Structure 1
Amino acid sequence: MRNLPRPPRSLRTRLVLIATVLATCAVLLCQTAGLTVLRSWLTDQVDGRLTGFRPPTRLYEDIAEGRRLPTPKDDGALPSDYRVYFYDSGGRLMDASLGLTDDRGPRLPTRADELALRNDEPVTVEARDGTGSWRVVTDSGPDGMRAVISLPLDTVDGATTKLLWFSASLGVVVAAGVAVLGNAAVRLGLRPLSRVEATAQKITDGDLELRVPDTDPTTEVGRLGKALNTMLDRLRTALHRTAASEQQMRRFMADAGHELRTPLTAIQGFAELLHDDPRMPAERRTEAHALIAANANCMSRLVDDLFLLAKLGYAPGPHPEPVDLLSLAADSITSTAVRHPERTITLEPLRTGSADTSGQELDVVEAVGDAHQLAQVVFNLLDNACSHTPASARVNVRVGTVRTSPAAGGVDRPGRTSATPALLPGTAAAVIEVADTGPGLTPDDAQHVFDRFYRAAPTGADEPGSGLGLAIAAAIAEAHQGRMELDTRPEAGCTFRLLLPVH
């Protein structure tokens, strides 16, 4: 059977394991260093005793003459843990020795030339019985004799063994303590991260309005929570924007279908009438043809407006070129006068209070943009003013330059509406204002006047519009990085203002 891969351990488990291993290794390393130092110190003590004791010359002579050597029982001058062995002048190990006559002692060769020892340099050799070890040093006597002085390392081995067991026990206790206490400490330290994890899981399950709990921004978890909250805010904004865009698109498609259905129904009805009644009188036939042409013209204008809105939304930006706004306004007034010959439309410069021109006339007011699109904006504003105000209302067109402010325009203030973002205060901008002295708009109508297919309450206009003119004007202004705005209140007329930043 194929072995399945083990699932990865959690972060908490890995941290506890790492802390336990590191703590245990640190303890063992310290104990090993202490053990090494202790054994070295104890061995130095033994070496000091060895090098500090040398057999006297008389002892060599007594051994060479075969005299009986003193034992620790008879002479307490020789410490009982010492063992001294002698090699005769021929290099053979002699039976004579100093120390207790038991089986303990170092394992020495029978020939002196096999010792491989230097005088005054202690070395460690194994015990004769195979248990423990001895520290030995050699000494040279008269007539080529040599002595081997030895001390057991039982004390050193016993101390190091006890310390070794103590180190092992301490390592086990430390590992167990770190595992238990480290688990609690890591669990407590990772509690903010656990809250982030729980919140993220709930957000994954669909609760998008939650936020990650705020923690100390100076910590890693705090910075992670701040980054997640920023990401969630952007995600929520994108989702709301997508939902709003989808809802707007559905409403747009429904409104477009509704607007197109009316002229199409009229065209279909009159076409069927002409087809079903071939003997229709010429006067009624002419009237039917005229109505079909009028509805076809209305549908054509609506399709053109829809196409322009789509183009403004998805096509590249306008072709920038210098545009003389005074000439553009004058041409638009001329075109509007053809459709509304009964109207009197004036063209004048912006004056003190709404501009920085101090009442002086301006010969040239230049902006950068697409002349055709800007002309369409001004024409739409003039056509709206003439179509939706009484014949007695005056229409004034003002052209000039301003520094954006609540008084001059370009920024928001109470009573002002716009579908485009505000410009930075103090921005130099070229302005075209179309103001009328009509009945104005209610606050509710003013809030929706730039919406597509929105129509305010009837004002006696001869021909209702499609509700796209102001939406097109706002889209063109935004494409020029400008702003389209409205100042109005009931019975005080409307002032539509197009602002274009002066680059």
Structure 2
Amino acid sequence: MRPRSLRGRLVWGAALLATAAVLAAQIIGFIVVRSWLLNRIDGQLDDFILPGHAYSRTVDPAPELPPHADSVTLPSDFRIMFYDTQGRESGRLGGGKAPGPGLPSSIDRLELSPGKPGTVRAASGSGRWRVMIKSGPDQTSYVVALPMDMVDGAASELLWLNAVVLAVTVTGLVVLGRWVVRIGLLPLTRMEQTAREITAHDLNLRLPDTDPRTETGRLSTVLNTMLDRLQKALRERESSEARLRRFVADAGHELRTPLTTVQGFADLALRHEDWPVSARREADRLIVQNAERMSLLVDDLLLLAKLDQEPVYAAERVDLLLLAADAVGAVAPQSPGHEIRLEPVGGGEDGVEPAETVGDPHRLRQVVTNLLTNAVTHTPPGTTVRVRVGTTRATAECGGRDRPGRSASGPPLAQGSRICVVEVIDDGPGIGAEAAGRVFERFYRADPSRSRERGGSGLGLAIASTITEGHGGRLELETRPAQGCVFRCVLPGGH
């Protein structure tokens, strides 16, 4: 069988339940009314007392009476049959148009106990009589009877009335039930129509009924939340695919230039074997330089892939002050045009103090070195670069909250928690707001030139942010055009 719709199940289910309830009420009413009428007849039979002179005249009929007592009509529906001491019929009282009770000629064949009412059929026709045996004088007895026409008639009328009421009730329930259920299911109908429109073309539509006091409203709220999450996931997937395509394009662009250079000079060296030694040496130098460039780029890509797939970091106590000092010592000789200073966080007069955290010393050294290298690479000679190291508490000023003018690579740390900070501050030209929001993207460079000498491949900050987030921290950038940049590495403080 094909399953019915929810509307059909509700209508027919309610109709069946109501039909069962009405039918049960009618059956109970029928039984109660019939029992009441029957008890009333039994009460009349039990209360009936035959006068003594009527009994004597019936047993010894007077000369003026007809030979049979049936001709005597009582002013009621009672019928009485007398039996002698031998149990044989000796006379009757009562009469009328209706046939009397079909009583046997011997009281022994009646199979009734004295004082207990019973039911017998009429002498002819389909009528029934209620009878009761009572004791008479001198060990005689008589049977008093009342017709059950009122009981049977009332029961028949009540049955017909119940049948009509039941039919009207069921019909009304089905007709009105369909209307009531249709009104009640309007929210579900609207949800169905909206869902079809969402499926067809418009993912921005949402279910309209969101009243938390109703079941459909709560369901709509849950479904709207699910749709929001699905739409967000789709957008993230599209954004991820776009980033992947851009990543592949940028990687191909970065690799194409050195490959073209290597291939070009190699072809020239093979075609012109009579080149002078100086020209050949210059070609070899350029081939080696571009090969190193490709090697560094491939190493960066492999490192990012490794950090994304299965980042494995050591868990050692690391003093960020030592890492910063090492980075300054390594970068300063390569950047003679920049003044690099090592200071405490806040720029106070107090000397720098150790800032210990737990992590991988090699990877964290790489973060500090990348930040410092990025600062000296993107600022002109004569720029002062300050490397500040220290411990503090996460606040809106540092690590604990996002705010306008600040870009970050991860979520803020808990307000008030102890943190370790390494800041790289320069007084160079700064970065525009649009570029600041993308500096942590892979292969992104504010400089439109693709020359590695003017900014590298755009993977240094991406690597630094990935490592920092892997240690439970984040990178922050605060910049104001023409006033320099602040790159801040925020890490959880060691215990």
| TM-score, length basis structure 2 | 0.92
SS at match of 2:130: strand
Q: For residues 192-211 of structure 1, what are the structure 2 equivalents within 5 Å?
A: 192-211=187-206
Q: For residues 363-378 of structure 1, what are the structure 2 equivalents within 5 Å?
A: 363-378=353-368
Output the CA distance in 2 between the equivalents of 1:478 and 1:297. 29
SS at match of 2:108: helix
Q: Percent identity?
A: 50
* Aligned CA distance change for structure 1 residues 103 and 173 (closer, same or farther; 3 Å): closer
Q: For residues 14-413 of structure 1, what are the structure 2 equivalents within 5 Å?
A: 14-65=9-60, 68=65, 78-94=74-90, 96-100=91-95, 104-316=99-311, 318-341=313-336, 343-351=338-346, 360-413=350-403
Output the CA distance in 2 between the equivalents of 1:166 and 1:123. 28
1:430 to 387, 411, 420: 420
Q: Tell me, yes or no, if the aligned pair for 2:420 and 2:491 is still in contact at 8 Å.
A: yes
Equivalent residue number for residue 495 of structure 1:
486
**How far apart are residue 501 of structure 1 and its match?**
2.2
**How far apart are residue 449 of structure 1 and its match?**
1.7
Equivalent residue number for residue 3 of structure 1:
none
The residue type paired with residue 494 of structure 1 is C
Q: For residues 1-16 of structure 1, what are the structure 2 equivalents within 5 Å?
A: 6-16=1-11
The residue type paired with residue 185 of structure 1 is V
Equivalent residue number for residue 471 of structure 1:
462
1:453 lines up with 2:443 in the alignment: yes
* Aligned CA distance change for structure 1 residues 103 and 184 (closer, same or farther; 3 Å): closer
Q: Tell me, yes or no, if the aligned pair for 2:339 and 2:382 is still in contact at 8 Å.
A: no
Output the CA distance in 2 between the equivalents of 1:498 and 1:385. 14
Q: Tell me, yes or no, if the aligned pair for 2:399 and 2:413 is still in contact at 8 Å.
A: no
Output the CA distance in 1 between the equivalents of 2:394 and 2:252. 40
Output the CA distance in 2 between the equivalents of 1:359 and 1:73. 141
SS at match of 1:22: helix
1:419 lines up with 2:415 in the alignment: no
The residue type paired with residue 87 of structure 2 is G
**How far apart are residue 37 of structure 1 and its match?**
1.4
**How far apart are residue 101 of structure 1 and its match?**
6.2
Identify which range, 438-447 or 8-17, moves more after superposition: 438-447
SS at match of 1:432: strand
**How far apart are residue 418 of structure 1 and its match?**
2.0
Q: Tell me, yes or no, if the aligned pair for 2:58 and 2:69 is still in contact at 8 Å.
A: no
SS at match of 1:85: strand
**How far apart are residue 370 of structure 1 and its match?**
1.8
Q: Deviations over 1:239-262 (max 9, x none)?
A: 111111111111111111111111
**How far apart are residue 408 of structure 1 and its match?**
3.1
Output the CA distance in 1 between the equivalents of 2:239 and 2:289. 35
**How far apart are residue 190 of structure 1 and its match?**
0.9
* Aligned CA distance change for structure 1 residues 168 and 317 (closer, same or farther; 3 Å): farther
Q: Tell me, yes or no, if the aligned pair for 1:410 and 1:483 is still in contact at 8 Å.
A: no
**How far apart are residue 205 of structure 1 and its match?**
2.3
**How far apart are residue 341 of structure 1 and its match?**
4.7
The residue type paired with residue 482 of structure 2 is E
* Aligned CA distance change for structure 1 residues 102 and 177 (closer, same or farther; 3 Å): closer
The residue type paired with residue 492 of structure 2 is P
**How far apart are residue 497 of structure 1 and its match?**
0.3
Equivalent residue number for residue 355 of structure 1:
none
Q: Tell me, yes or no, if the aligned pair for 2:337 and 2:383 is still in contact at 8 Å.
A: no
Identify which range, 182-191 or 79-88, moves more after superposition: 79-88
Q: Tell me, yes or no, if the aligned pair for 2:133 and 2:142 is still in contact at 8 Å.
A: yes
SS at match of 2:304: helix
* Aligned CA distance change for structure 1 residues 130 and 306 (closer, same or farther; 3 Å): farther
Output the CA distance in 2 between the equivalents of 1:149 and 1:319. 112
The residue type paired with residue 462 of structure 2 is A
Name the count of aligned residue pairs: 490
The residue type paired with residue 180 of structure 1 is V
Identify which range, 51-60 or 470-479, moves more after superposition: 51-60
After superposition, the CA RMSD in angstroms is: 2.4
The residue type paired with residue 355 of structure 2 is V
Q: Tell me, yes or no, if the aligned pair for 2:391 and 2:421 is still in contact at 8 Å.
A: yes
Q: Deviations over 1:341-384 (max 9, x none)?
A: 554322111127xxxxx764453211122222111111011111
* Aligned CA distance change for structure 1 residues 123 and 454 (closer, same or farther; 3 Å): same
Output the CA distance in 2 between the equivalents of 1:420 and 1:340. 30
